[in-house]
Amino acid sequence: MTKLAIIYYSATGHGTEMAKVAAAAGQAAGAEVRVRHVAETADPSTFAENPAWTANYEATKDLPAATGDDIVWADAVILGAPTRYSTPAAPYQTFINGLGGLWAEGKLANKVYAAWTSSQTLHGGQETTLQQMYQQVMHFGGIIAAPGYTDGLKFVDGNPYGVGHVTGANNTDELSDATKNALEHMTKRVVDIATKLNS
């Protein structure tokens, strides 16, 4: 059975919802799925006045946090992080920066990777964020399986690099059907490719 790790950082909960969609798609594709959130690095007092951030923190803080061992365990990895000024959010970057030992041992290589992101506005750094996430995967020696335009639904969501969710000016927009469909397609494709490589 192909092992899929879904490793993501979410502040206000959109990434958490995206992880749930991807996990269900991975299970439907026949994979053994492990979902791990990247631990929050900000002190809760700094976002106490943001109800969505506080709610997501409370809902996930006691769940297993991502470690490098989750990548080592996996055949395929789907990464997720919101964009901050066209780069992955700091907690995600901190997690990646902590993988140096495993990278040096080659333990992050030869796995299939894809990614998602989110931003408040369309084109709010999503493409550059995904590209930077993939540049990191290149350093790992990973196999990038960006979705491209491999299905008609990708012409609806319009993101060949991965999947991008637009949260809206008030950061409250729920996942659209197009985003959910794109996540499901990308996840199935990642599992299919990893399964073929490992057969």
DSSP lists the bridge partners of residue 76 as: 4, 112
CB 8 within 8 A of CB 79: yes
Residue 122's pLDDT is 87
Residue 186's pLDDT is 98
Residues 6 or more apart from 185 whose CB is under 8 A from it? Answer: 147, 150, 151, 153, 154
Closest-CA residue to 133 (of 58, 81, 178): 81
> How many angstroms from the chain centroid is the CA of residue 162?
9
Residue type, 104: A
Ramachandran quadrant class, 39 (left: phi over 0; alpha: psi -120 to 50; beta: rest): beta
Residue 38's pLDDT is 98
Alpha-helical runs (H) found in 29-151:
51-60, 68-73, 90-97, 100-104, 126-140
Residue 123's pLDDT is 83
Residue 124's pLDDT is 87
Tens digit of pLDDT at every position of the chain (199 positions) = 999 999 999 999 999 999 999 999 999 999 999 999 999 999 999 999 999 999 999 999 999 999 999 999 999 999 999 999 999 999 999 999 999 999 999 999 999 999 999 999 988 899 999 999 999 999 999 999 999 999 999 999 889 999 999 999 888 899 999 999 999 999 999 999 999 999 8
Determine which helix (DSSP H) or strand (DSSP E) holds 5, and give its type and residue range. strand 3-8
Residue 199's pLDDT is 87
Q: Cα–Cα distances in Å, from 151 out to 28, 121, 131, 156?
A: 18, 24, 21, 10
DSSP lists the bridge partners of residue 103 as: none
Residue type, 155: F
Closest-CA residue to 7 (of 72, 58, 59): 72
pTM over 0.85: yes
Residue 167's pLDDT is 92
The full set of domains in the chain, from first to last, is 3-198 (3.40.50.360)
